Structure 1
Amino acid sequence: MKQWIEVVNFELLSTKIQNLKTDGIIFLIDEFVWDLYKDQLNLKSLVGAIKKKVILKRLPRGEKAKCFSVYERVCEEILEEGIHRNFHVIACGGGAISDISGFIASSLLRGLSWSVIPTTLLSMVDASIGGKTGINSKFGKNLIGAFHMPEHVWLNPLFLETLPKVESLNGYGEVLKYSFLDKKIKESLLSSKFKIGEIILKCANYKNKLVEEDFREKGPRKYLNLGHTFGHAFEKMYPVSHGEAVYWGMKLLFYIFERKDLLKECDNMVKELSLSFGKPPWLVHLDEKSSLVNNLMNFVKRDKKVISEKEIELVFINEDWSPYLIALDFETIRIKLDNFFKESHVGE
């Protein structure tokens, strides 16, 4: 199934929603986004214009939304309203909101159509695209979910005007990932004339192309997981956002494989873009190196990219900067981590 990615303003967004071929709309929105943008979204006039039933549900912000209790509550509340298969779910918020909303859409009545209005940089370039949906488990992120492709992704950069600085940094972690996967994105990012709307669309289209080639993530779509294995572990171990965790996940990968060229380029781009990721999160636990490695390995072994009892598939970058997949056994990874954390600098 093809998903349509379009750049819109609020007026065009309203028109797009009105033109959906559906009998009703289930509008799932981040409660913080609702408080900021309910006037611009203007659902009351939308109801009058389309004369369809609109069910509005405000969800907790961020990862708090991606849990069993919220999933169960929202599903039951929607079913209580009385719906049928010609209802359309619209997710409006950051990546966490699109994750749980898409999972709800995939589950209700065994699958409702849905669309996404991403409101953060991270969700615009990554989470809203490709049909990966889900909620978290106590054993890790996104371990319960489904592939369910949205019909539309409506990108409105105006949402970024109220984006907190920490959320902007969160998004740039993923944007930097794209710059290692595609040289054109890297060149655009480092251009003195770059516009954030253009970068968003380039990243979104790059991901969408891989998704169309490999929806079920059996081949090249896996390239998008660069930095995510260690990144997901850092999200569980430290108070860092997803994008920041992916950034540090990439750097740790480059460190343990001794790719000084990639490390240097990463530092250069961070400097050019005036980003401030601070110090590596693992510095907090340097006095407990063995437990640090054990904790990392525990999460690595539970990662979705594990391909056997002894191996995991990682994404890495060739000398010519093309991405490739490599299967590594857990013992090799542990040895590389042990050696890295024995060094005095450990990425400072």
Structure 2
Amino acid sequence: MRPGPRNLITDVRGLKVGSAEDAVLRSGATVLTAEAPFVAAVHVMGGAPGTRETELLAPDKLVTHVDALVLSGGSVFGLDAASGVVEGLRAMGRGFAVGPVRAPIVPGAILFDLLNGGDKDWSDNPYRALGRAALERAGEDFALGSAGAGFGALTADFKGGLGSASCVLESGLTVGALAAVNSLGSVVVGEGPGFWAAPWEMEGEFGGFPPARRFDPGWEPSPRKRQGEATTICVVATDAALTQAEALRMATAAQDGLARAVVPSHTPFDGDLVFAAATGALALKEPDRDRFLLGHAAAACLSRAVARAIHEARPFPGDLQPCWRSRFGSREGERG
């Protein structure tokens, strides 16, 4: 497999991503949508998820296609970002037809960034407007790092962020990943600079540091939240024609990629989850082989997206944590 031309989830043709953020709030929202409704599923492994309309994505439920997926900061308040996306899609004439009314289907998930130093003393929930603005900015190119749902994100060691990656399989199928990384766990080995995801890196996309050769197996991480971190929320996508059950299997396999990139992941304090999206543009030529490789590719892409989120984060006045680039950017490309 090789990276797609943008190395973004939007290398899956038909997908668009938009982000909006508020520097004073230190938070934001990110929307993934498409030219037409797409098959979606979700798999949750974190112990503290915050979600909207995810139950309807189970394979035994009526709804199989959605109009958008939303990742947002803001904890419980951020769930309202999906309301702004619903309003925007309805204004575009999108959504499930119910008589003369259009009802967009927009599941979403949130991360906890309420203690990241931003001004949270507002009277009207700002996330509805952030969701609408993110939808209006949706396109094939979008910013990584300190953007959208990852704008105010933190991790155990460095500022978090929004990351994405893609790959094209020999079969011609494309897989992409999108991640808002705000994890209790660490994305770097020890004190860095190397990323846990280093074995999956392509073309030096997050610094080119070699995989760690030594690590203390007796290391015990702290079981408490610090500052604002907790939760990594993700989307993996493909242009393959998948059923909802097959999309769920891809999301489940992609959780391996999160575990490879964040240590520890899936903790009782994180709301870690993975959405899957399938646009259905290409039929599976060898179904068993293709489904097998889609799961592997989704996991690899998600690991890369997580590392890119931290690699691309930028500093701002008042930050509670350093950026990876500020500390190690001058050493990129080191080989050992």
Please indicate the TM-score interval, normalised by the length of the shorter structure. Answer: under 0.3
Greater share of helix: 1
Structure having the higher Rg: 1
TM-score by length of 1: 0.26
Greater share of strand: 2
